[in-house]
Amino acid sequence: MKGGGLWADAWRRLRRNRAAYGSSWVLLAIVLASLVGPVLSPYGYDAQDLDRGAVGPTLDHPMGTDFHGRDVLTRVLYGARVSVQVGLLAALTSLLIGTAYGATAGWSGGRTDEWMMRLVDVLYSLPYMFVVILLVVVFGQSMTLLFCALGAVQWLTTARIVRGQVLSLKTREFVEAARATGVPGRTILIRHVVPNALGPILVYFTLTVPQVILQEAFLSFLGLGVQAPRPSLGALIQDGANAMVVYPWLLVFPGGVMALLLLALNFLGDGLRDALDPRMRGS
């Protein structure tokens, strides 16, 4: 088998993982549909037709309409866009905070590392969802606050992963060689250590996105997430759950898209974890 660099080998192994590779295409299709679908749809996500009301799937409305006569397909696609945005932005916020914190702790070592990680242990003991709910209630409901609040409580595991990687990498030969040539420690950390820890960081990032989407759905289910008339998958599922006996399509379609999105993200995350596992190198 022909060898290659780390990323070339990882890509080859990812393509051989049918579940992960197929999930990447499913995820791409959902993202593209959520971006293009609402623009091409003849219906607005908040356009009401009260005379029509809730009607099951038809040729004009493939996923039916809701209580206010709004097209469910358009709202599901727009809701998927909102959920993906919140998931990606919150996970990115978590990634930036956790990487900076964990890299600083692992590189500093000694008492600094000890005290920084004890703070992480203390924060781990807090009920993070309660903290998010408290932030949303105190500071108001907005998209910006939502992904900042969710990201601000997700960075703890990222910090631990990055710290462990930095502790392992800072004693490697290439780091010692950089120190011997007089490269400043900060430069070594940013240019050499953190880039070499990107594999596990990227894997955890892909696994954080579905966690955040589920948390946003839970908040929307409680009425604390994305506010009407703007839909999210969580808000649509809440509306459908309240009328699932009479209007089952209002729950089946957004719930199905949510399940497909989460499965694709989790399969992709698992595939990336296996593809970037150094024990798999050369296989």
Single-letter residue type at 264 = A
Q: What's the distance, CA 209 to chain centroid?
A: 1
Closest CA to 148 of 76, 238, 221, 216: 216
Per-residue tens of pLDDT for the chain, all 283 residues: 444 566 677 778 878 888 888 888 998 999 899 888 888 888 888 888 888 888 888 888 889 898 888 999 999 999 888 888 888 888 888 889 999 999 999 998 889 989 999 998 888 887 777 777 777 777 777 777 777 777 777 888 889 989 988 888 888 888 888 888 888 888 888 888 888 887 788 888 888 888 888 888 787 777 777 777 778 888 888 888 888 888 899 999 998 998 898 888 888 888 877 777 655 444 5
Asked if 74 and 231 touch (Cβ cutoff 8 Å), the reply is no
Which H or E element spans position 136? helix 128-139
Asked if 196 and 186 touch (Cβ cutoff 8 Å), the reply is no
- Retrieve residue 193's tokens: 């250590």
Which domains does the chain carry? 6-280 (1.10.3720.10)
Q: 33: buried, middle or exposed (CB in 10 Å: 19+, 13-18, 0-12)?
A: middle
The model carries a pTM of 0.77
